[in-house]
Structure 1
Amino acid sequence: MRLNPGDVLLLTKKASIQFTKPMTFRVIGVVTDWITYDGWVWVDGYQLDKKGDAVEKRRVFVQAAGLRVLKAAIGDGRVKRTQRW
């Protein structure tokens, strides 16, 4: 899975055990210069509230296979809704 700035993800236990309560997360970027376990990635972004507003900047360590994309970013930085909340 390729993540792009502006993608909005739903992070659950499938992404990492730390997300026992699902979290909505807007991607800023992916850390590519750190060595990780196969299938795991460091992602920078913002935790979002129920209105979609950023409430905290975070770096999370997640399994790429467990990520669920709620909104995919369009190439020019706009966001296209791919799934209803």
Structure 2
Amino acid sequence: MRPSLGDLLLIDGRASVQFAGDRALTFRVVSVCDRPTYSGWIWLTGYEINRRGNATAKRDIYIQLSGLHPVTSTSAPSRSRATRPYASRNDQGDGRAGRDRSGLRARADARADAR
């Protein structure tokens, strides 16, 4: 298997002894090096992906093509941050500017003055 950009791969001891056992990792490919190497080996640049689907570290790895395996299932990255509505410049965190729309009036007045 020849990897391409965006591939999600399982890198384990089959790809290289340095990734055997508990050193195995999930890897998202961002670059495939085309410089010549030993037959059947390749340099890849990408990101180590954790169990939540988030990139944790950028790495360059040297592995055997025959040992590459695509990851068949992954969990989607979770969205742990709550989204907040747009806060106006007058909003000091108490929500008052959003309720009385004073931030919107201030911007509209500034636009009218600029004309």
**TM, length-normalised to structure 1:** 0.79
1:84 corresponding residue in structure 2: 73
Q: How does 1:28-67 map to 2 (within 5 A)?
A: 28-32=30-34, 34-67=35-68
Q: Does residue 17 in structure 1 map to residue 32 in structure 2?
A: no
1:76 equivalent in structure 2: none
Pairwise CA RMSD? 1.1
TM-score (norm 2): 0.59
SS at match of 2:53: coil
Bigger radius of gyration among the two? 2
Instruction: Tell me the distance in 1 between the aligned counterparts of 2:2 and 2:36.
Output: 17
- Larger proportion of strand: 1
In 2, the alpha carbon distance for the partners of 1:54 and 1:84 equals 16
Unmatched runs of 5 consecutive residues or more in structure 2? 75-115
Q: Which residue of structure 2 aligns with residue 6 of structure 1?
A: 6
Q: Which of these residues, 17, 25, 28, is aligned with residue 26 of structure 1?
A: 28
Question: How many equivalent residue pairs?
Answer: 72
Deviating 4+ runs (over 6 angstroms): none
Is the Cα–Cα contact under 8 Å of residues 15 and 64 in structure 1 kept in the other structure?
A: yes
Identity of aligned residues (%): 40
